[in-house]
Amino acid sequence: MTKSRIFFYLLVSFIAGVAVASFIPLSLFIVWVFFLFGAALIACGILIPQSRKYFLVIGFSVILAACGMIRFLASSRAPESDLALFVGRDASRQGVILDEPVRTTGTQRITLTIDSGDVVLLVTKLYPEYRYGDRIQIQGKLEEPENFSDDFDYRAYLAKDDIYYMMSFPKIEGIASDQGSWIYSKLLSIKYAFAGQLNRTLPEPQSSFMSGLILGERRSLPEDVVFDLQRTGTSHVVALSGYNITIIGDALMKVLAFFTIPFSWAFAGSVFGILAFTAVTGAQASVVRAAIMGILVLIARRVGRSYHVRNALTLAGALMLLENPKILRFDVGFELSFLATLGLVYGSPILERAYETLKLKLTPPMRDIGLVHEDRNLRTPRRASVIRGVLISTISAQLFVIPLLVYQFGTLSVVSPIANLAVLPFIPATMLFGFFTGMLGFISDFLGEIVGWVSWLLLTYELSAVSFFSRVPFAAIQISGVAPAIVSIVYGIAIAIIWKRIRHAR
């Protein structure tokens, strides 16, 4: 058993411990049983030299699983706070907005860190608008979040961000501004200025769609566009999630390589592109996690063999869960990021080999009937089609996230694979031209408008494609009551197939 494999088993054990505690109610007694069992195995390893390595590895794995359980249980307990005494009563507090407010059609949701260190979620009117770093005074009825349905644990969803209290439409008085991080404030200023430039250059709904692609902003999208995106399973393209970033980063490297740019430069350019988009969007925690996943996909492409990135991917997941173990169950964005990354790293090579195998079987009969003509003057193999590479990556990511999407949202988009294949290959180019549209607009409105025409053409095609597939009869099917066990079995089978392929590749 190699050191690399032992390290992998230890990381997986910690993640497994977090997962068990996330979905199964555990008591401290059970956790201590795990600790004692692991310690007993370690003792056996010390006393029995013949099987020392196996006893030690299993023993430490069990202890790390228990550590994962402890980490989740510790993070799930609401901290003691004097705010608990004011639940159901009027309260007045001061605090600083330490996250970008989320604005929807008629309200804005503000995450306020009050002076005592507690976090309060404010739901208030859309205007006046508040921004990151504003110090405000609030007064209103303090409440604890409630679950409004059996299908979604809203309280736990907020708890993952340490939010245990909220106020609905409180009285708000502004006191000061620029009380947050100077760096984060500047990043958000760049984001707002860039979004404003896009709005001046592109018409609607293309402008809002471009803001969603580059900045993750989709609050101003028309309702019919939002409906079409949901129905076709393409909402992720305007949510700058890990699912989006991983596909974009992978596609960007393929496009750069297609234009004969050296592989090392294509790799560096793709990493820089991911980091640039992360900075422009304000470098929020969810986007940073997504960027890490996207960069790991590029590393897998660079090293050439997907199993070499196994430990890096597992370590990244373990560190993210160590920092916030609640995201494993209550952060769909993290789940989609991780699964999309698995699909791109491990699923793409499988589909690529399947494509080559199918091609070898079908080419001879197609050549016999004249559908394929062989060019014997070619001295070197043809360059792999960038479009084919993007399509394979898209299908791989889609296959890995579909079971989770069906479980979480109860909707299966029948046209999602086709709709994504029609749209996603053009997304990297759209984002590239959109980036230049905004940046050149700062220099000259004329230059911004010239590049903006290309952006408008790409955006118009993508919106038209989404609208077309949304109108297909039975494009989306409601599937409710999917048991977690079924989803676990599906992913278990996928993991088993991947594991077998990795072992065979060695």
Closest of 340, 314, 348, 330 to residue 403, by C-alpha: 340
Task: Give this prediction's pTM.
Answer: 0.72
What does the pLDDT read at residue 192? 80
Q: Which neighbouring-strand residues pair with 165?
A: 120
Match 């430069």 to its residue by tokens: 265
What does the pLDDT read at residue 382? 44
Match 């604890």 to its residue by tokens: 144
413 phi and psi, to 5 degrees? Answer: -85, 110
What does the pLDDT read at residue 308? 59
Task: Provide the b/e sequence for 195-205 (b: ≥16 CB within 10 Å).
Answer: bebbbebbeeb
Tens-digit pLDDT profile for residues 106-121: 788 899 888 888 888 9
Domain ranges, ordered by start, for the chain: 3-76, 82-179, 223-363+382-505
205 prior amide bond cis, ω within 30: yes
What does the pLDDT read at residue 18? 92
**Two tokens at 207?**
């402008």
Q: Which neighbouring-strand residues pair with 136?
A: 95, 174
Q: Judge contact between 160 and 326, C-beta under 8 A.
A: yes
Whole-angstrom distance, CA of residue 98 vs CA of residue 120 = 11
What does the pLDDT read at residue 13? 93
The backbone region for 96, taken as left when phi is positive above 0, alpha when psi lies in -120 to 50, beta otherwise, is: beta
The per-residue pLDDT string of the chain (506 residues; one tens digit each, 9 = 90 and over) reads: 678 788 888 999 999 999 899 888 888 889 999 999 999 988 888 887 777 788 888 999 999 999 999 999 888 777 777 888 888 888 888 899 988 888 776 788 899 888 888 888 999 988 888 888 889 999 999 888 887 766 667 887 888 888 888 988 999 888 888 777 787 787 778 778 888 888 888 888 888 888 877 776 666 677 888 888 888 877 777 765 555 666 666 667 766 766 677 777 777 877 887 777 677 666 666 677 777 777 776 776 666 555 556 777 788 888 888 888 988 888 777 787 778 777 777 777 778 777 778 878 777 776 767 665 555 444 444 444 556 766 777 777 777 877 877 777 777 788 887 887 788 778 777 877 887 888 888 888 888 888 889 999 999 999 999 999 988 888 877 776 666 777 778 888 887 877 776 666 55
Task: Provide the b/e sequence for 87-106 (b: ≥16 CB within 10 Å).
Answer: eeeebebebbbbbbbebeee
Q: Which neighbouring-strand residues pair with 102?
A: 109
3 phi and psi, to 5 degrees? Answer: -65, -35
Tens-digit pLDDT profile for residues 168-212: 899 988 888 877 778 778 777 877 888 888 888 888 888 888 887
Q: Judge contact between 97 and 111, C-beta under 8 A.
A: yes
What does the pLDDT read at residue 369? 72
3-class DSSP state of 194 = helix
CB-based contacts of 188, cutoff 8 Å, min separation 6: 100, 131, 132, 282
Determine the topology of domain 82-179 in CATH: OB fold (Dihydrolipoamide Acetyltransferase, E2P) (2.40.50)
What does the pLDDT read at residue 4? 77
